[in-house]
Amino acid sequence: MREFVRKALDRGLTVPNVASYLSLDIMRRWGVVWGTCCLGLKARLLGASLGHGVTAHGPVAIMRWPQSRIVIGNDVHLISSWRRATAAALSHPVRLRTFGPDALISIGEGCELSGTSITCRSTSITLGKKVLVAPDVIIVDSDFHAPWPMESRSTDPGLENDRPVVIEDYAWIGMRSIILKGVTIGRGAIVGAGSVVTRDIPPFAVACGSPARVVKIQEH
């Protein structure tokens, strides 16, 4: 600590700036310790599977329906705190929820999720290896209501319309995007901020808009 302060002062940083950085760093470190411990406890109590090296920056909300599965792979980072978020906004914590006995949420090795809401009702939502998900993204496998007839929307869950979601390795999902049911986002693809993804995105594509459309295919 003394060495850090000495080097900071040697570089011309003022004492208030050093104090500000130190306080922020302490809050971040404490947030990781507290969040990771709470996540481990929740996973044990609720039957979620955690890999090695999983960290949580702040509280993570888990809701697991009996007989469903939530699987979090090795070295996954779940960011639920504005103190750790690197983007402009983080409105809520990471939320992982299954609402049916056959539902599966699978998060691959090395993924990083920031304030992401994943809700799986009856199929599966699968994230591959090292997927980046920016703040406030929503991913669902269901409409949660049957669209027709309109008189039964509030009572008919429309389970037969649910479809799985797959986000392949190294994909990057931009801030406040929505990934709807039945979508596959290909390896290395980029989804621009604020997009609504209603159809498949091919590998190494850049897609944006509502609905999201491919604007570029990156050479690889």
Residue 38, domain CATH: 2.160.10.10
Residue type, 104: L
Residue type, 114: S
Query: What's the pLDDT band for 16 if we cut at 50, 70, 90?
Result: confident
Per the DSSP assignment, residues forming a β-bridge with 187 are none
pLDDT beyond 90 at 114: yes
Query: What's the pLDDT band for 193 if we cut at 50, 70, 90?
Result: very high
Give me the mean pLDDT over the 111-116 stretch. Answer: 95
pLDDT beyond 70 at 144: yes
Q: Using an 8 Å Cβ cutoff, are 35 and 60 in contact?
A: yes
Structural domains of the chain, count: 1
Structure-token pair, residue 25? 């760093």
The pLDDT assigned to 160 comes to 86
The pLDDT assigned to 12 comes to 66
Q: Which of 21-30, 98-107, 108-117, 204-213 has the least mean pLDDT?
A: 21-30
Burial 19-39 (b: 16+ CB within 10 A, else e): eeeeeeeeeeeebbeebbeeb
Radius of gyration of the chain (CA): 20
Q: Which structural domain range is residue 179 located in?
A: 2-217
* Distance between CA atoms of residues 109 and 27, nearest Å: 26
Q: Using an 8 Å Cβ cutoff, are 204 and 186 in contact?
A: yes
The residues carrying an active-site annotation are 145
Three-state secondary-structure class, residue 158? coil
pLDDT beyond 90 at 24: no
Residue ranges of the alpha helices (H) in the chain?
2-10, 15-46
More confident residue, 68 or 15: 68
